[in-house]
Structure 1
Amino acid sequence: MSNHLFQIPLTKLQGVGPQKAEEFHALGISTVGDLLEYYPFRYEDYRIRELSEVKDGERITIQGTIASMPSMQRYGGKSRLICRVTVESMLVTAVWFNRAFLKDQLTLGREITLTGKWDQRRRHLTVADSEFPDRSSAKTGTLQPVYSVGGSITQAAIRKLIDRALNQFGSLIPEILPPELLDKHSLIPRREAISGIHRPENTREGTEARRRMVYEELFLFQLKLQAYRATHLKQADGLVQPVNNDEIRSFVGALPFSLTDSQKQVINEILHDMKQPYAMNRLLQGDVGAGKTVVAAVGLYATVRAGHQGALMVPTEILADQHVRSLGKMFEPYGIQVGLLTGSLTERKRRDLIASLQMGLLDIVVGTHALIQEDVFFRSLGLVVTDEQHRFGVNQRSILRRKGMNPDVLTMTATPIPRTLAITVFGDLDVSTLRERPKGRKPIKTYSVKHQMMDRVLGFIRKEAEQGRQTFFICPLIEESEKIDVQNAIDLHIQLTQALPELSIGLLHGRMTAGEKEATMALFAAGKTNVLVSTTVIEVGVDVPNATLMIVMDADRFGLSQLHQLRGRVGRGEHQSFCILIADPKSENGQERMKAMTETDDGFEISRRDLEIRGPGEFFGTKQSGMPEFRLANLVNDFEVLEQARDDAAALTAMEQFWSSPTYAELRENLARDANLNGEPLD
């Protein structure tokens, strides 16, 4: 909406004095523009319906004739008014609570319109609203908007004021969207849409009005992100990394497994970006076990072959150690040197490693946040890969990027983000997705059981151990907590050692030293430990192909995406794997999560359900800064519109005339008011 309406104070509307304006200000409404963009969150339907099409318990509006004199009952200062009404040759009992003043108006034979909750069995209507057609019927036959209100502002008051604003200033509502987008999506004009949202004539008009304004809301948000990309990220100041396709084919061909079609497509997208004169900024997302590490390895190989260095930042030392071993095997035949930089290195080893990086003797370094310390420098950093990127803050990621001259950046996540959320939260990134699993991987069978079934669970552990398989046993806490009655790792380790004396039981948790963790994991990886009791320190990336059983204690305490991550630690070998979730059946949200886990092992479906259960702001466990609050749009339901809006915004900002033509002046004005484009980059 043009600046003009946002400059007209509410006091310009009849009936709004300073005190009333202050009350509206508490709702975030200070100007006529704010008021017109204060949308209803639902509608009350006052359209008359036939009783035959109404279900029990529904809210309905019916019209009839008063067929009996009203009777009044009083109790404890309250009242109940009862009257019979003939509706479509049926006798209906209408009941009003605390509406004693209506008694004299309920005269025999008078027509009346009633709105309320229908009890089909008793033919009984609990009346919420009533009107007489022989007077003015303001609501009958209409859809009435319902707004968030507070203080002394009632629904009637805000409806009346919005009506007044539309009548007085509606003609000043400008069109923001260019004609080509209105035509492309068959969108109604903006003035019509804002009026239709606040006072729809019928459902169709309300739907079309909402569709238009949802598209606009998502389009304007995407326009900011795409304009930022066009003005900041796609400037030709990145490294042009020549990629030799024959060398890449040879490297991929030497791998001990075949790449999936999905992996090949994503590798092509990454290598294409690396050849461009602007810095790559790509998000690689894929389900657990989809093979993201191999894709990253091809990118790291390409940057080394182009004469640069690569860095891989991961959230835990266990994962860093594992990556160094797997990358080392892949790169050893090519003479590519891989180093490990974590907080537990001795001072001398750390000094030597940093010197090797600065002199270019080390090609690739894998590390934790130790990589971003001030004294770590590269000779020529070409590619930065961040694994499980949502574990690192914006600042940590950007510090690593600044250690090179605009290196290419690949951020990876094994928490599959619903595409809508990826486009929204990481809208300034290109998104690549791995959907397929490597060939030969069997689906993991998942079961949800009660705590009372622990004996059967122990029997399952014994059975797997007899066949030479191993078990992960996860619990939420390290030690006993007075606040939360959940099984803890240390107690569980003692109990399992007593219950399964013939088996070797290991213990892993976050308070152990790096050396202790490494030794524990090495024993488990070598098959010398049958069962590993652990906290969620093993959630990300740990790869033990012989582990076939994942048991999660107090599973209802974990988030859905976290449970899926834990399940992904098994099923990495040739044998059938299982996941057993031990949960409290009384936990309502927990049961919803258990149902999702046992019904599907598709990470994208899991994340979609997680988004529905928790909402976008909580999807990453903590509220994501920069997560926009939309007034109308719903990221779960409006994902198709979001994708359209993203594509349209990208095409528009790529056109030279967008930045100069009068046709797009309103859109440019809207961008100019956005602080993000003038302040810190959207990393």
Structure 2
Amino acid sequence: MRPSLLDPLFASVRTLAGVGPKISALLLKLLGAESANMLEPRVGQLLFLPPASVIDRRNRPGVAFAEAGAIVTLEVTIDHYQFSPSATKTGAFMRGSVPHRVFAHDDTGEVTLVFFHAQRAWLEKSLPLGEKVIVSGKVEWFNGRASMVHPDHIAPVDGSEDLPLIEPVYPLTAGLSPKTLARAMRDALTRIPDLPEWQDKTLMARENFPTFSQGLHHLHMPQEPEDIAENSPARRRLAYDEFLAGQMALALVRAKTRRLSGRPLMGTGRIITQILANLPYRLTKGQEQAVKDIIRDLKAPERMLRLLQGDVGSGKTVVGLLAMAHAAESGGQSALMAPTEVLARQHFATIAPLAEKAGLKTALLTGREKGKERQRILTALADGTIHIIIGTHALFQEKVDYNDLVLVIIDEQHRFGVHQRLQLTAKGTAPDMLVMTATPIPRTLVLTAFGDMDVSKLTEKPAGRQPVTTAIVPVERLNEIVERMKNAIKQGQKIYWICPLVEESEHVELTSAEERFQSFLPIFGNKLGLIHGRMSGQEKDEAMLAFKRGDTRLLIATTVIEVGVDVPDATVIVIEHAERFGLSQLHQLRGRVGRGDKPSTCLLLYKGPLGEIAKARLQVMRETEDGFRIAEEDLKLRGEGELLGTRQSGTPGFKLASVEAHADLLETARKDARLILERDINLQSERGQALRLLLYIFGRDEAIRLLRAG
């Protein structure tokens, strides 16, 4: 049960001033709360909407000194009205009518206040003749006269303390006025309950943090423009609260998972030695270290929770196989789950031959295995004949029973959230878990999504791989590149030429694969191949086979070749309109060359003029082949939500915190969360009870349920 102290924050926004059903629906859209299956947003969710900027109304130059287009605040005396003859008696307007004008002055000059949609009675009441009033808005000059159309604020001089001098500006959605939102926000601030402090006193002093309530007040009623900046103490305090709630939830998942204590898998080293003897290459230092880390974890009595990150082609699958071999030496079974059937079959093709040579029985289980064949696999799995099973989600359906499942490996983890991790572990008697990803994830994002895991990284390329030289070339030099391609083909090289579209579109001036193929046909003749996503599976296979055999030497392709295509003797890739691709996609495409023992080249062909972000992207590609550095830069250019596909992944999309701006706080939050749970695993202490409130406030209820489940 949520503590009643928090009820005001969980009340509907419809309890706030000026918010009815219509405004509530608009706020739901603005806050993105509909993705959380809510019918209407809560007061607390509204308070977590940070302003995008501020309007500074402290500029009081006097009418004569107000600059055109500037927002100013003026203290003026009302002189006379010029009501529109086209307005009705109530003041309502007809289409194309003349506006109402109110003339006023101060010591320096005169100003006209212009109103298109105002009731006459309201104007007479708000701007009484002969009285002094405060008006604030944008000033324009025309024929030497100052005017202000629809002032943003009008207040009597004695009520001017209500005028926001630094006014927050929020993102809006069609139909929602800034005034309505500001009024609701001011009312929401009055609902913040008197909460106990959950942050550490030393940290508060060191970071100059205000209280939670003060932080929200600074954010929504700033005294200075700097109050809303990401590096202000108020914003950093709230960001830290959000990070800590996330890290506490992950640490509780970790603690819960570890409490279902694993069992030590001692192994003998016999099968691993056999597999290593059959490998046609030596492991890289990174692979050796990862295997060492994993075996150490498997031998420990606590459950393993490890993330294995590897760049394009760094050899994660072999590391996974050696982990499963260790499990088999200890008498247990392993399951490797991939997100797609294609990837599952690829793993099976790599792993099965090596495993069989070492005497291990491997099977494949996807949605495609049916009837008797499926039943045979399920029986062999239940009686322990199968040591390694590879497949998709099908591995964890209710009817699949294991004899002794001790290790679960999940490939491409960012497709599965924390909840799925808990679900999977229910299958074995608390199996060890290894998670693999080929998408280099920046350290900060690893912490937000996988804070409950230990991390191993594979950064080297396998032996014999050559570096790839990357050059940025303007499209004007196309003819020169074509000449270079002719020479390269004469020397027996193979080339990929990547286009962004399949066929020409009138709306976008990008060279399509079809069009490029036609234009190159007279030059390269039967040496030219074409592959794109609209082809049938068989046509694609034939096009790839012709390229692999060397029948074709220049393959025009779309991004269909981005992942999983392996032609070791392809040495050149040209990416046309490279400015249109994202960084990680460019990196994946470049990974198609440099897979053999010959030096390779990547040409990034662009059409100018380049925007700042596109320029930065291409520059990063030229400077480095390190997927982890590229991921860090991609994070800076695109933001965390887009990079991990936040919505789909169960990864938190932060409201107040920014992974980039507040990265230093994320490290601290992770350490703090682990320390808290070491000392107070059930959050029973005074600070523990306060931290339970924090978890509720940031919607981490599932973590509270873990506490109860023990």
Using structure 1 for the length normalisation, give the TM-score.
0.73
Aligned CA distance change for structure 1 residues 315 and 32 (closer, same or farther; 3 Å): closer
Q: Are 2:495 and 2:571, in contact at CA under 8 Å, matched by a contact in 1?
A: yes
State the SS of the aligned residue for 1:187: coil
1:193 aligns with 2:215: yes
Residue 274 (structure 1) aligned to one of 290, 298, 316: 298
Match for residue 300 of structure 1? 324
Q: How does 1:174-189 map to 2 (within 5 A)?
A: 174-179=196-201, 181-183=203-205, 185-189=207-211
Match for residue 194 of structure 2? 172
1:547 aligns with 2:573: no
Displacement of 1:284 in angstroms is 2.3
Aligned CA distance change for structure 1 residues 255 and 84 (closer, same or farther; 3 Å): farther
1:217 aligns with 2:238: no
Displacement of 1:445 in angstroms is 0.6
1:416 aligns with 2:444: no
Match for residue 308 of structure 2? 284
1:562 aligns with 2:573: no
Displacement of 1:543 in angstroms is 3.2
Match for residue 432 of structure 1? 456
Match for residue 702 of structure 2? 676
Question: Matched residues in 2 for 1:619 and 1:370: separation?
Answer: 28
Task: Name which of structure 1's ranges 135-144 and 539-548 shifts more when overlaid on structure 2.
Answer: 135-144
After superposition, the CA RMSD in angstroms is 5.7
For 2:5, give the aligned amino acid. H
State the SS of the aligned residue for 1:659: coil
Q: Are 1:178 and 1:664, in contact at CA under 8 Å, matched by a contact in 2?
A: no
State the SS of the aligned residue for 1:540: coil
User: Can you give the 5+ residue segments of structure 2 that lack an aligned partner in the other structure?
Assistant: 29-39, 85-95
Aligned CA distance change for structure 1 residues 151 and 550 (closer, same or farther; 3 Å): closer
Q: Are 1:310 and 1:381, in contact at CA under 8 Å, matched by a contact in 2?
A: yes
Question: Matched residues in 2 for 1:12 and 1:465: separation?
Answer: 67
Question: Matched residues in 1 for 2:549 and 2:619: separation?
Answer: 33
Displacement of 1:548 in angstroms is 1.4
| Percentage identity across paired residues of the two chains | 33
Question: Matched residues in 1 for 2:147 and 2:694: separation?
Answer: 50
State the SS of the aligned residue for 2:54: strand
Match for residue 92 of structure 2? none
State the SS of the aligned residue for 1:201: coil
Match for residue 648 of structure 2? 624
Q: How does 1:387-536 map to 2 (within 5 A)?
A: 387-390=411-414, 404-437=428-461, 441-447=466-472, 449-450=474-475, 455-475=479-499, 499-501=523-525, 503=527, 505=529, 507=531, 512-513=536-537, 521=544, 524-525=547-548, 527=550, 529-536=552-559
Tell me the alpha carbon deviations over residues 11-39 of structure 1, each in whole angstroms, 9 at most, x when there is no partner: 999x977x755566443688765665565
Tell me the alpha carbon deviations over residues 64-85 of structure 1, each in whole angstroms, 9 at most, x when there is no partner: 999xx99x9x997369999999
Task: Name which of structure 1's ranges 596-605 and 23-32 shifts more when overlaid on structure 2.
Answer: 23-32
User: Can you give the 5+ residue segments of structure 1 that lack an aligned partner in the other structure?
Assistant: none
Q: Are 2:529 and 2:547, in contact at CA under 8 Å, matched by a contact in 1?
A: no
Aligned CA distance change for structure 1 residues 78 and 259 (closer, same or farther; 3 Å): farther
Aligned CA distance change for structure 1 residues 299 and 462 (closer, same or farther; 3 Å): farther
Aligned CA distance change for structure 1 residues 106 and 662 (closer, same or farther; 3 Å): same
Question: Matched residues in 1 for 2:661 and 2:196: separation?
Answer: 28
Question: Matched residues in 2 for 1:606 and 1:93: separation?
Answer: 58
Question: Matched residues in 2 for 1:283 and 1:313: separation?
Answer: 14
Tell me the alpha carbon deviations over residues 445-475 of structure 1, each in whole angstroms, 9 at most, x when there is no partner: 143554x765444434333333332223445
Question: Matched residues in 1 for 2:623 and 2:496: separation?
Answer: 21
Q: Are 2:155 and 2:163, in contact at CA under 8 Å, matched by a contact in 1?
A: no
Q: How does 1:567-578 map to 2 (within 5 A)?
A: 567-578=590-601
Aligned CA distance change for structure 1 residues 281 and 521 (closer, same or farther; 3 Å): farther
For 1:564, give the aligned amino acid. H
Match for residue 635 of structure 1? 659
Aligned CA distance change for structure 1 residues 341 and 25 (closer, same or farther; 3 Å): closer
Aligned CA distance change for structure 1 residues 341 and 536 (closer, same or farther; 3 Å): farther
State the SS of the aligned residue for 1:664: helix
Tell me the alpha carbon deviations over residues 143-186 of structure 1, each in whole angstroms, 9 at most, x when there is no partner: 223345679976556556655665x6667344343546535644
State the SS of the aligned residue for 1:501: helix
For 1:501, give the aligned amino acid. G
Question: Matched residues in 1 for 2:378 and 2:547: separation?
Answer: 31
Displacement of 1:633 in angstroms is 1.7
Match for residue 7 of structure 2? 6
Q: Are 1:527 and 1:546, in contact at CA under 8 Å, matched by a contact in 2?
A: no
State the SS of the aligned residue for 1:416: coil
For 1:195, give the aligned amino acid. H
Question: Matched residues in 2 for 1:600 and 1:669: separation?
Answer: 47
Question: Matched residues in 2 for 1:198 and 1:590: separation?
Answer: 31
Displacement of 1:638 in angstroms is 2.3
Displacement of 1:215 in angstroms is 0.9
Question: Matched residues in 1 for 2:609 and 2:5: separation?
Answer: 55
Match for residue 561 of structure 2? 538
Aligned CA distance change for structure 1 residues 196 and 359 (closer, same or farther; 3 Å): same
Tell me the alpha carbon deviations over residues 534-585 of structure 1, each in whole angstroms, 9 at most, x when there is no partner: 4544322433332112234565665442232121111223333223345665
Displacement of 1:603 in angstroms is 2.8
Aligned CA distance change for structure 1 residues 41 and 504 (closer, same or farther; 3 Å): closer
1:144 aligns with 2:167: yes
Aligned residues: 662
Match for residue 579 of structure 1? 602
Aligned CA distance change for structure 1 residues 199 and 616 (closer, same or farther; 3 Å): same
Aligned CA distance change for structure 1 residues 115 and 406 (closer, same or farther; 3 Å): same
Q: Are 1:618 and 1:624, in contact at CA under 8 Å, matched by a contact in 2?
A: no
For 1:638, give the aligned amino acid. H
Tell me the alpha carbon deviations over residues 220-273 of structure 1, each in whole angstroms, 9 at most, x when there is no partner: 232222223322x22234353225689979977996766555545544443333
Q: Are 2:416 and 2:650, in contact at CA under 8 Å, matched by a contact in 1?
A: no
Match for residue 45 of structure 1? 56
State the SS of the aligned residue for 1:282: strand
Task: Name which of structure 1's ranges 504-513 and 125-134 shifts more when overlaid on structure 2.
Answer: 125-134
State the SS of the aligned residue for 1:505: strand
State the SS of the aligned residue for 1:144: strand
Tell me the alpha carbon deviations over residues 280-301 of structure 1, each in whole angstroms, 9 at most, x when there is no partner: 3333223324443343344234
Match for residue 651 of structure 1? 675
Question: Matched residues in 2 for 1:521 and 1:344: separation?
Answer: 24
Aligned CA distance change for structure 1 residues 482 and 532 (closer, same or farther; 3 Å): same
Q: How does 1:348-387 map to 2 (within 5 A)?
A: 363-364=387-388, 366=390, 379-387=403-411
Using structure 2 for the length normalisation, give the TM-score.
0.71
Aligned CA distance change for structure 1 residues 523 and 425 (closer, same or farther; 3 Å): same
Match for residue 89 of structure 2? none
Q: Are 2:365 and 2:392, in contact at CA under 8 Å, matched by a contact in 1?
A: yes
Question: Matched residues in 1 for 2:267 and 2:107: separation?
Answer: 82
Displacement of 1:612 in angstroms is 5.2
1:230 aligns with 2:255: yes
For 1:273, give the aligned amino acid. D
Task: Name which of structure 1's ranges 481-490 and 21-30 shifts more when overlaid on structure 2.
Answer: 481-490
Match for residue 77 of structure 1? 98
Aligned CA distance change for structure 1 residues 641 and 678 (closer, same or farther; 3 Å): closer
Question: Matched residues in 2 for 1:447 and 1:671: separation?
Answer: 48
Question: Matched residues in 1 for 2:418 and 2:250: separation?
Answer: 16
Aligned CA distance change for structure 1 residues 490 and 351 (closer, same or farther; 3 Å): farther
